[in-house]
Copies of this chain bind each other. A is one copy, B any other.
């Protein structure tokens, strides 16, 4: 296996093109992002991942699209994934995240990663109230 390469629309199989078309239509974009061009190397994973992301991120649920994108971003930062931080900062901005909102998300990411570890280090037992 060589290093994975992106598969562009013009070189894609019909089943990959069908997913690309659905992404472009759903998101109203002229081309798909790199993640989809790389996942296209495995059409089953491309289709499964897109179908799942589309369902999870669909508007009309209990959370606003911008809230969903900011949660996605916060996790991507915690996982230290450079591509994901870039792509979900972009997506969250498109969904309405302002500079101020970004700043608050980052502040929470920082605090949560700090207190998560303090709790582990001090071996804090779970409060009875949280178990109900």
| Residues of chain A at the chain B interface (Cβ within 8 Å) | 1-4, 33-35, 38-39, 41-42, 44-45, 48-49, 52-53, 55-57, 61-63, 67-68, 70-90, 92-93, 97-127, 129-132
Contact = CB atoms under 8 A, between A and B. Distances in A.
Given A67-B67, A71-B109, A105-B63, A83 B131 contact: no
Nearest to A37: B124
Main secondary structure of the interface of A (DSSP, over half): helix
25 contacts: A1-B102, A3-B131, A35-B119, A39-B122, A41-B99, A41-B122, A45-B107, A49-B118, A53-B115, A56-B107, A62-B100, A62-B101, A68-B108, A74-B74, A79-B80, A80-B80, A80-B116, A83-B124, A83-B125, A84-B112, A84-B116, A87-B126, A109-B117, A109-B118, A110-B115
